[in-house]
Amino acid sequence: MPQTHKEATPSNAFPPLCVDLDGTLIKSDTLHDSLLALFRSHPSSLLALPALVFRGKAAFKRYVTDTVEIDVLHLPYNRPLLQYLHDEHAKGRAIYLATGADERLAKRVADHLGIFDGVLGSDGATNLTGKSKLQRLKASLPSPEFDYIGNDTPDLPLLRHSSHPMLANPTLRLRMRAGNLNPVRVFNDRSQPIRAFFKAIRIHQWAKNILMFLPLILAHTLHWNLILITALAFACFSLTASATYIVNDLLDLETDRRHPRKSKRPFASGDLSAFHGLAISLLFLGLALLGTRFLPSEFLGWLLLYFVTTLAYSTVLKQIPLVDVMVLSGLYTLRLLAGGAATHTPISPWMAGFSVFLFLSLAIVKRFAELENLRVGGAQPKNGRGYLLTDMEQLRSFGTASAYSAVVIFAMYISGQSSSALYHHPNRLWLMLPLMIFWVSRAWMLASRGELNEDPVVWAVTDRVSLLLGVAIAIVIFFAV
């Protein structure tokens, strides 16, 4: 941010103002952010971390800081606090960044903001937190008096010594242990935890897992016991999916922070910490595995394959053009296979072929829509997917060809002998073809207009026209049965 012009107020009219970094000036923890970036970009470097733990936390921080460089420009800064610091800087007040983060990282933050008169941080030998930070401040500041802004229990010694203690996004444990500490100001810049939690687990994405009921529906075996079994499988799959969404968001932290829309996600914005994200992910995985004890072992196999494939997609595969969309379409088909395994309902070759081509088209239209939105905004792809704007027409041809191939496979199914075993009037299923052609054509038309801004499967279950078409298809199936 640009520096504010100082007013003529003498600097010695105010005690020095000292500000913590992690959780205070920024809403996240720079060490956690750095470790996630390290895992993503230098996974082999993680092998050196266990040995560094025995050398002390300061050495640990120095190694991580020297190995990976996080983007300080897009860190989730506490906006009310940052505005206050700019106002105090304009008055001529001396402001110091005093943090337990490594000093080299802290200096990069200070150089970016341009409002600090000095930086105190961990130096590779001393971890500058709590009483160590208080002693360093006393020895370094020109005045024994200072004001301090913190957020957690390690800041308590400094807050109690401060002339005017202030808090920024205080943690629950700090509020419980603060006692008679009366902060003169509190800078809150964080959404409600419950709201951030539901946003992080992306419940709306659970709509994709409705596909698990499709084998039962198409096999005409909708019995209550099978529906309940599939519902349990749906819950296990949804919990696992949310766990992988969280892991993906944590690994994409820095990329998301540079994105105008994704920067508002709970982890990118600092509304939820990486630690909480990992805890939620492990809890959801544990609950999903617990639920699989009441389901066939084949379902567990498909669930584990989904989990491993999704992690591989999040770390490597999504960076390889075309491979990423093939994996995405495969994950959709995998949901059908998992749903069939939960109730021992076989998946016909017709359904498998139809789903592969349809979901491949939906995966491609998602990438196409992302590129179209970038093209309209005059931007270039920077998300590491490997696609270029010049690939759009080729993607359009791949996607539309795949969509109409799915329609052709369905037409061949209607005209074959397999449909006669399940439908008394299979010829009535031909009425579904124009509805399907209209739907896939409309999806691609909206994507070409830049009006498809979300996952196409989620769009399908929330779009009014798509829902009406779904009702019409259900009526056709009813009369065909």
- Give tens-digit pLDDT for 367-390: 998 888 778 777 777 665 678 888
**29 vs 43 pLDDT, higher one:** 29
Q: How confident is the model at residue 4 (pLDDT cuts 50, 70, 90)?
A: very low
Residue 149 above 50 pLDDT? Answer: yes
Tell me the pLDDT tens digit for each residue of 189-244: 988 889 999 999 999 889 889 999 988 888 877 789 999 999 999 999 999 999 99
Dihedral sign of CA atoms 248, 253, 258, 261 in order: positive
pLDDT at residue 383 in the model = 60
Q: How confident is the model at residue 14 (pLDDT cuts 50, 70, 90)?
A: confident
CB contact set of 449 (below 8 Å; sequence gap of 6+): none
pLDDT at residue 9 in the model = 41
Q: Is 159 exposed, middle or buried (0-12, 13-18, 19+ CB in 10 A)?
A: buried
pLDDT at residue 5 in the model = 38
d(CA 288, CA 303): 9
Tell me the pLDDT tens digit for each residue of 408-431: 999 998 887 777 777 888 888 899
Strand 17-19 relative to strand 95-102: parallel, antiparallel, unpaired? parallel
pLDDT at residue 11 in the model = 47
Nearest residue to 280 via CA among 208, 196, 205: 196
Of the segments 176-180, 206-210, 304-308, 470-474, which one has the largest average pLDDT value? 304-308
CB atoms within 10 A of CB 421: 8
Residue 3 above 60 pLDDT? Answer: no
Q: How confident is the model at residue 305 (pLDDT cuts 50, 70, 90)?
A: very high
Percent of the chain past pLDDT 70, that is, above it, reads: 96
Residue 12 above 60 pLDDT? Answer: no
Residue 468 above 90 pLDDT? Answer: yes
Q: In a 3-state reduction of DSSP, which class is residue 258?
A: coil
Residue 69 above 80 pLDDT? Answer: yes
**How would you label 312-327 residue by residue, b for 16+ Cβ within 10 Å and e otherwise?**
ebbeebbeeeeebbbb
Residue 1 above 50 pLDDT? Answer: no
d(CA 27, CA 190): 8
* pLDDT, the chain, mean: 89
Tell me the pLDDT tens digit for each residue of 311-351: 898 888 888 899 999 999 999 999 999 999 999 998 888 88
pLDDT at residue 384 in the model = 58
Q: In a 3-state reduction of DSSP, which class is residue 410?
A: helix
Residue 450 above 90 pLDDT? Answer: no
Q: How confident is the model at residue 13 (pLDDT cuts 50, 70, 90)?
A: low
Backbone angles phi, psi at 316, to 5 degrees: -130, -55
Please state the pTM of the whole predicted model.
0.84
| Amino acid letter, 139 | A
Phi-psi region at 295: left, alpha or beta (left = phi > 0; alpha = psi -120 to 50): beta
Q: Quick check: 459 and 439 in contact, CB under 8 A?
A: no
Write down all domains in the chain, each with its CATH number in brackets: 11-187 (3.40.50.1000), 193-480 (1.10.600)
| Amino acid letter, 290 | L
pLDDT at residue 10 in the model = 43
CB contact set of 134 (below 8 Å; sequence gap of 6+): 157, 158, 161
Among 19-28, 213-222, 261-270, where is mean pLDDT lowest?
213-222
Tell me the pLDDT tens digit for each residue of 240-265: 999 999 999 998 898 889 888 889 99
Percent of the chain past pLDDT 90, that is, above it, reads: 63
